[in-house]
Structure 1
Amino acid sequence: MANKKTGLLAPDKNRERTSADGRRERSRSSRARIVDALLQLVAAGEVSPSAARVAETAKVGLRTVFRHFDDMDSLYREMSEAIEERITEVLLQPFKADHWRDRLLESVERRASVYEIIMPYRVSADTKRFESEFLQQDRLRLLRLERTALEATLPQSVLDDRVQTRALSLILSFQSWRALRQDEELSVSEAKAVVARLLANALSTIDA
């Protein structure tokens, strides 16, 4: 209890508060290590790491993983949030160009930077999405964000041509980038050159 003269907590209360603060800090530290472990494993090429593998990498018990996360779905949700924090700065950079055509060409470089960051995590999520309602919905959300970012750049006369808009969307999509980098085994510079060529060819057919 508090000392009436000093207003300070009695020693036993101080110990209880210190102990509670210590538990909360350890809990936050464990949770952060678990998320970081998943990010490390996926970045290293483990497309679908198990909870046991995450626990081993985080140096915590398996029960600790599920004490912080009800299931792997909730862990993937936190992974998605962590990746979005990494790419927000790139996404929010203003375009240097004024004309929409130049902005689209500028977006090749920007999207390449973002796609390189998120590629291992998107590939991992895609392998698990049929087992996870969250990952299914998150994939659709990301596809909408890609499309919305493109459509915000295009003039209405181009948007009115649905086929043309979808063609541009496909050229600049993550799926196209993944195919070039993984299936075609191109370097980053080669993949960017292919996307830029496809985009330039598509733009040459548009009068706007």
Structure 2
Amino acid sequence: MRKIDAQQAGPERVDGRRERGRSSHKRIVEAMMELIVAGDLSPSAARVAEEAGIGLRTVFRHFDDMDALYAVITATITEQVMPVVMAPYPDQPWRANVRELVRRRVRVFETTLPFRLAANIKRYQSPFLMGQYSRVVMLERELILRLLPGPILADRIAVEALCAALSFHTWRTLRHDQSLPAEDAGTVMGQMVEAILATIAEDA
């Protein structure tokens, strides 16, 4: 009877360890994200461990280095914002879709602002973050180009102006460097885009 009990207890102990492991993993990720949102854009592993209420060794047992932790956070944030980023546009004039893109960028940029600020601090020392930065910039540009008709795509200056106005760099400048509230920053970004659209012939 005791043998049976021991055999049954074995899987239970394994399941218990797995559950504790999943719990620690989740607490580490949540702690890192909470610290970044609170303004600590470059938290140390020790600070993450303290916030999560676990030992420093546990952090390194789950994540070999901070890049691994940033990779999980990136995946978490991407899952949040991609439905907004990739949602189809209505069948309407391209200018209306560009204005819709402004509204989407405001939502996505504001959601990701603290995490992209944190990643920017580390990306010159991190191949993962540098690669992620390049991929995101290319995607953001491609999403603008998809909305523009052929004649506009041929207007290099107009295209580059729209890409600059709708870039995260512009949002970061408005929100972080100029300390504008999100609503005001969104209004400024919208006005910048409207000024560019006004230079493009109405029949384009």
Give the alignment's TM-score, normalised by structure 2: 0.93
Are residues 1:71 and 2:65 paired?
yes
1:45 aligns with 2:45: no
Q: How much does 1:70 deviate?
A: 0.6
Does residue 105 of structure 2 align to residue 94 of structure 1?
A: no
3-state DSSP class of the match of 1:178? Answer: helix
1:136 correspondence with 2:130: yes
Is structure 2 residue 112 aligned with structure 1 residue 118? Answer: yes
User: Which deviates more from structure 2 when the two are superposed, residues 89-98 or residues 125-134?
Assistant: 89-98
Question: So what's the TM-score if we normalise by structure 1?
Answer: 0.91
In structure 2, C-alpha distance between the alignment counterparts of 1:152 and 1:198, rounded to whole Å = 20
Which residue of structure 2 aligns with residue 186 of structure 1? 180
In the alignment, does 2:53 pair up with 1:59? Answer: yes
Single out whichever of 46-55 and 100-109 deviates more from structure 2. Answer: 100-109
The residue type equivalent to 1:92 in the other structure is M
Structure 2 equivalent of residue 107 of structure 1: 101
Query: Percent of aligned pairs with the same residue?
Result: 44
Separation (CA, whole Å) in 1 of partners of 2:177 and 2:65: 32
Q: 1:23 corresponds to which letter in structure 2?
A: R
Q: Give runs of aligned pairs for residues 17-28 of structure 1, distance below 5 A.
A: 17-28=11-22
List alignment gaps of at least 5 residues for structure 2: none
For structure 1, the 5+ residue unaligned runs are 1-8
What residue identity is the alignment partner of 2:150?
Answer: Q
Q: Look up the equivalent residue of 2:12 and give its one-letter code.
A: T
What is the total number of aligned residue pairs between the two structures?
200
> In the aligned structure 2, how far is the partner of 1:156 from the partner of 1:39?
42
The 2-side partners of 1:11 and 1:145 are apart by 56
Amino acid of the residue matched to residue 187 of structure 2? A
**Given the alignment of the two structures, is residue 204 of structure 1 paired with residue 198 of structure 2, yes or no?**
yes
1:156 partner letter: G
User: Which residue identity does 1:57 align to in structure 2?
Assistant: E
Distance 1:163 1:137 in 2: 27
- Worse-matched range after superposition: 60-69 or 197-206: 197-206
Q: Using the TM superposition, give the Cα deviation of residue 164 of structure 1 relative to its aligned residue in structure 2, in angstroms.
A: 2.0
Instruction: Indicate conservation of the 8 Å contact 1:42/1:49, yes or no.
Output: yes
Two-structure CA RMSD over aligned residues (Å): 1.4
* SS of structure 2 residue aligned to 1:10: helix
> Does residue 147 of the first structure (1) align with residue 146 of the second (2)?
no
Shift of 1:85: 1.4
Paired residue secondary structure (2:92) = coil
Partners of 2:107 and 2:128 lie apart in 1 by: 25
| Distance in structure 1 (CA, Å) of the matches to 2:5 and 2:160 | 68
State the alpha-carbon separation in 1 of the partners of residues 102 and 13 from structure 2: 52
Separation in 2, partners of 1:10, 1:144: 59
Partner SS for 2:39? coil
